[in-house]
Structure formats: C-alpha cells, structure tokens
Structure 1
Amino acid sequence: MLSFLLAVSLVTSHPLNSDRELLFADEFNAGQLDRDKWIVIGPEFWVNNEQQAYVDSPETIQFVDDMEGADGGVMALKPKWAPGTQVPGVRVADFVSGRVESKGKFDFTYGRAEARIKLTDHVGVWPAWWLLGNGQWPDTGEIDVLEYVGEKDWIGVAVHGPGYSGDEGPVNRYYFQEGDVTDWNVYAVEWTEDEMVFMVNDDVAYRVTRLAIEFLGEWRFDNPKYLLLNFALGGAYPVKVNNLTDAKYPGMPNETVEAVKRGEPAMYVDWVRVWAPETE
C-alpha cells in the first residue's frame, strides 16, 4: 500500500492555464546572469561527495544566444577540468562547475515552477533543477523537479523532509516514451497545499500527496521555496546508479572525465518560469 501511495505514475496531460499570474521569469536573453534574480554558490559549499567545486565564473556559467531549438538566449552550466583547485580548509578538487540559486531574491509557496532544459549524454554527471526551503535541511523541505545521472532515457524526481530524505523519501524515475534528455524538455512541478505533481512536457510523471508524506513524517511544504539550478559531477547519487565506487572520481567513468576536458557536458536552460496557483 505504501509503494502505491508514493509511486503513482500517470500519463495524462496537465494543460497550463494561460490566465495564471506569472510570479518569476528568466528567459536568459541578456547574455549575462541577472544578479537581481540569482546568486552564485562558491567553492566552500560541498555535499554528497560531489567531485566539483562551484565557482562564480563565465567559464562555468555561460550564455548562448543562437542555440538550435532554443527560444532566445540560453544559460549553460558547464563543468570544467581544473586540476588542483584549492578550497582552503575544505578540500582539493579537479573540477569546477556552476550553481545558481534565487535564495534571498525570490521564493514562493504553491504554484507551478517550470524550466526548459537540454542535457548531454554523459555517465556520472549530476545536473539538477529543484526547490529548497529557507531553513535547515531537510526540515524545511526539498522538491527535486529534475535530477539526471547519465542514463539518458530517464530522469529522477523526489521530495525530501524530516524522516523521509535520501533513499528513504518518495522518489521516482520518469522514462521517456519518445526522445530523451538530450532533447529540449520542460520539467515542471505543480505544488499545492495537498500534493506535488511532477511533469515532463506536461505529461504527469509522478504525484506525491500530503497523506502519503504524513505516513512517513511531517509535511514541510507549506513554506516558501527558492529555485536552484546546478551541475554536479559524480558523488552519491551517480554511485548508487552506476556503482563506480572504485573510479578515481566516484560515480564518474574516465570517458566522462575526458569529455569534461573536451568541454562537452553541459546543462542548457532556455528559461525558468514560476506561476501562481490556478484559480477556480
């Protein structure tokens, strides 16, 4: 019964009401990061045994104005080979990458958050599009709209809170019936006071209800969440999927390391939009 509650997978369409209020939008057409909307995370932040250090750099947070299939400009989060990167008092990393957040700039409670994203086919990368509460993790809740670890026919979605984080939480895989992550896709969550519905190109991929969460612990999704986009490499989630525990960089094969050296892996973001809840 529990697995049924936590893994409802549907194939219906969820059309967006054009009359909804647009709360936040970044179309990435300016050719640079809008610092009124986003902050950039620095190298001192490190979790999940990820192999990169985050830096605020035009090499890791790039902008493209003529990408095929995009609607205007594109933000590209790109990992870079940077052997011996020193993070004083923390570690030494061989890669750098980008992570942007709207923390302190924008957050919201209930509505629809969506982003149009194109990914690359590389094993052991870990880009993500997600929402996070403003307090201590996981007490104020986490909503993972898109996580990708390098198997291009599926993406992961999840929610985390006190008593149901990590593998203990409601998680699901969405397998593409047509195309894959290397196409432009819209990844969205419709968040209300009673449930979260995850969508890929308006197909419902997963539904998590308040009742199902409260079977595991407290529902921590009545508070504001801010937006995050990041590109991690290796670490806990890729290792759990590909079992590359003995690789030089856990979770990431040498083929992907070489691809990073060539500048190939990337997370391309055409736009991010947040809509107010639907009105009756």
Structure 2
Amino acid sequence: MKMMNLLMGSSILLFSCSKALQQSPDLPASKSQASSVAVQNTAALATLSSSWDLVFSDEFNSTGSFDASKWTYSPRWSPAWAKYLTSTSDYVAQNGTDLVLRMDNAVIAGDPVPYHSGGIQTSTKFSFLYGKVEVRAKFKQGQGSWPAIWMMPETPVSYGDWPNSGEIDIMEHVNYENSVHQTIHNGSVTGPSGGSSATKTTAYNTADYNIYGIIWSPSAIQFYVNNVLQYTYNRAAAATSSQWPFDKPFYLILNQSGGAGWPGAITNADLPFNMNVDYIRVYKEVPVLGNPGFEDAALTPWGNWNPAGNTAVVTTNFRSGAKAIRQQGGETSLEQVITGLSPNTTYVFGGYGKVSTAGESAMFGVKNYGGAAVNTAINATSYTNSSVTFSTGATNSSVTVYMYKPVAGTAYGDDFYFNKL
C-alpha cells in the first residue's frame, strides 16, 4: 500500500497503492466456521473441505493501550502513509469494544507537524506464511483520509527493496470514495510511480462495519469483502520472485493515515479521522481428508484412474457405516490431493483395507510430497489397519494419497484417515 507513496502522483488514481485478486469460498464470519477450496488430482477436479485453526487474534475488548505482546507502534518515517504517525495512546487506543486509530491536527509541544495519526503493526511479535485473515472495521470518510489494513514481509528485503519483496493490501480507502481498494504489490505489477495493475475496487457499507479478508495459499491470494470473494491474484506456473514473492512470512499493519501521497491534502473541517477495528483474526488451514468413509455415496473429492478395472462406492463389505470403496478388475487407483500442509513436517495416512481372495493385493500410499512414493501392502481377507508415514519437503505443502490395485482381483477400503504427527 505504501512504501512508494512518496513517488505516487496523479497516476495513482488509476491504481490502488498496492494489490490484486479473483473468486472462491466465503470467509467465515466467526472463528470456527470452515471453507472449501478446489484441488486438482491426477484423475479429477475434486473439492476438498478445509478447516481452520485460529492462530492469532485480538478482539480489542479492553480499554487503554493496545496489547504490547502482539503489537508495536508503526514508526514515523519518510513514506507518505507514515509521515504523521505518532506513538501515543491519543492516536491508538482501545475503548472497550474497538481499537480506535485516530488522525487530527492537534498541536503537540515539541512535535511541530501539522497532523498526527495512529498505526500499529505485529512485526517482531507475529508473522505468518499462508492462512486466512479477517478484520472487521469501519471508518469515517473525509478529504485527505487514508485508513488501511495491510501486510508486509517480516524480512523486508528478501527479494530486494520495495516492491520486490511484496506487499498485500487487504483494504485501503481514500477521501469520500464509496469503494475500497484491495491490491498486490511486487516487482511485476507495481509501476515506477508506485501504482499497481493488480488491484480491485469494491463497494462497501459506508455507514457500518465491514469484514475485510484474504485467503493466502501457496498458489493464490484471494480477497474478500463481507465474505464475498472479490478478486484472486494467482501464482504463475513458472513464477519467479518478481511475480510471487509471497513465500515468506508477512506481518500485519493497521493504520489511519492521510494528508500526503495518494489521498492528497486534508480538509481540516473533516477532521478527526477514525478507523475503528472490532477484531482481527488469523487462521491456519488444517489439512483435511475428504469423504474418508464414502458415506456421501460418491467418490468426491477422491478421483480415480482405471486403465483396466473400475472403482465404485458400494453398500456391501463396509467396515463401518453403510458404505465402502471397491476396486475391481485390473489396474485401478483411487487418489486425493490434500493441501495446506506445512513443509518439513511429518504426517501419517492410513485406513482399513482388505482383498476378496487370498493371494490378491492392493496398497495404500502417498506421493508428490517432496520425497519418494511410500506405500504399504493390503493382502488380508478381513479389514486390517495399514498406514504410511512421510515428511514433506522443504517447500512442499501438499500430498497425493492413494489406494492402488496393480493387478486383477477385488479390494475394499474404508475409514481412511490423515493426521499430523
């Protein structure tokens, strides 16, 4: 949103100070709700349900100063957004229900700037790589006002100076506009004046709180307003850091700025400017194995590959519930891609399997996780629990799990599971 705002002139009216987007599942209105994402496996496009763990939040229900274990003041320095930042509780404070970020033209002895404004950030306190962010906030319109909710890399020059190391603007607003801006900055989309071609403007409720959010994955950043997907910025297939510097931890920033750069001069009669933040929440995706017992009476989100046999959900030979999976005939494979894994982390995949006749064989296994395929044989004629353990690679965040029958015969599977160790 901001690092280049000293350079931003009239051309910035074409683009928001930072950002990019597209469409998918709703953000949850509360911390316990889940969403779903589409994943591709070797056989079919499957829909995988994902759950989310809350890893950071601030409900701002206290009074007085902010929680210093989570936040620090954003310091005053040269970019336009930071020109008037002031590190006192007059400009950042909790009122019992909200965090209030303020901007005014009060005179402060020993600080002879024409305006003072508030901002806080989680740098050195909390940063994260991939997840979901949700912020409920409202703000006052006014000439020269510039509230923002955004993210910057914890290591600011991982891929070079701004904008090369990236910026994610969850929400920005200026002046009396009836829309908010959601934007990506990087070395590919940010121009020499600081504007970005990867940006979306969206109408919002000007009189009340709105929920602003993103879902950030290894392949895309999705932007939401009031739980509706507005825009998706996708990682290119052969992306370099210029197009996708978003593989490093980022921290959060909340600020009420103005009077310089993009919004232009302040009309003093419109002061004070306030942004009220009801809450901010960050979630990490919990890997979920979809349809583990086939009680949905369908394969989805599993895909199947049947060069010589067939795969079907059946209502006989189940271990529990009322259904199981059957692989019959020649070679056949049942597969599912699980996303949201952490790199360099150990997981287990398993289930219960059996074959119809002694001497037949199938297997459970994993592949495409950053290491060699791992499998375990299924050759008992009664249901037997079998599992494989694997560790993701240094840059891998997904795995393909499978049940594979390489030769003629019939095999059954039921009650699959997937867990982090």
- Stretch moving more, 155-164 or 223-232: 155-164
Kept after mapping to 2: 8 A contact 1:40/1:56: yes
For residues 230 and 14 of structure 1, do their structure 2 counterparts lie closer, same or farther at Cα, with a shift above 3 Å needed? Answer: closer
Counterpart pick for 2:254 among 194, 217, 229: 229
**Structure having the higher Rg:** 2
How far off is 1:220 after superposition? 0.3
For 2:107 and 2:178, the matched residues in 1 are separated by: 31
Secondary structure of residue in 1 paired with 2:113: strand
Equivalent position of 1:94 in the other structure: 114
SS across alignment from 2:248: coil
How far apart are residue 278 of structure 1 and its match?
Answer: 4.7
Higher helix residue share: 1
1:75 to 87, 92, 99: 99
Measured in 2, the distance between the counterparts of 1:9 and 1:163 equals: 18
Amino acid aligned to 1:77: L
From the superposition, tell whether residues 173 and 160 of structure 1 become closer, same or farther in structure 2 (CA, over 3 Å).
Answer: same
Gaps of 5+ in 2: 1-18, 36-50, 289-421
Q: Kindly state the Cα deviation for residue 12 of structure 1 after the two structures are TM-superposed.
A: 6.9
Change (3 A) 1:185 1:194: same
Seen in structure 2, the aligned counterparts of structure 1 residues 145 and 85 have a Cα distance that, compared at 3 Å, is farther
In structure 1, the residue matched to 2:58 is: 26
Q: 2:199 aligns with which of 151, 171, 174?
A: 171
Tell me, yes or no, if structure 1 residue 17 matches structure 2 residue 41.
no
1:252 aligned to 265, 274, 290, which one?
A: 265
Q: Does 1:56 align with 2:64?
A: no
How far off its partner does 1:120 sit? 0.8
Could you tell me whether the CA contact under 8 Å between 2:145 and 2:266 is conserved in 1? Answer: no
* 2:276 is aligned with 1:268: yes
Specify the SS of the correspondent of 1:93. coil
Separation (CA, whole Å) in 2 of partners of 1:110 and 1:172: 21
Structure 2 CA distance for aligned equivalents of residues 188 and 230 of structure 1: 16
Contact 2:102 2:256 in 1 (8 A): yes
1:112 and 1:191 in contact (8 A); partners too: yes
- Partners of 2:21 and 2:182 within 8 A in 1: no
Aligned pairs for 1:82-231 (under 5 A) are: 82-83=106-107, 93-134=113-154, 135-136=156-157, 137-165=162-190, 166-176=194-204, 180-211=205-236, 214=239, 217-231=242-256
Identical amino acids, percent of aligned pairs: 27
- Of structures 1 and 2, the one scoring higher in RCO (CA 8 A, sep 6+) is 1
1:36 alignment partner in structure 2: 69
CA distances 1:217-273 after superposition (whole Å, capped 9, x unpaired): 3310010000100111132222xxxxxxxxxxxx1342xx1232xx3x200000110
Change (3 A) 1:278 1:124: farther
* More strand per residue: 2
**Structure 1 residue 127 displacement after superposition:** 0.7
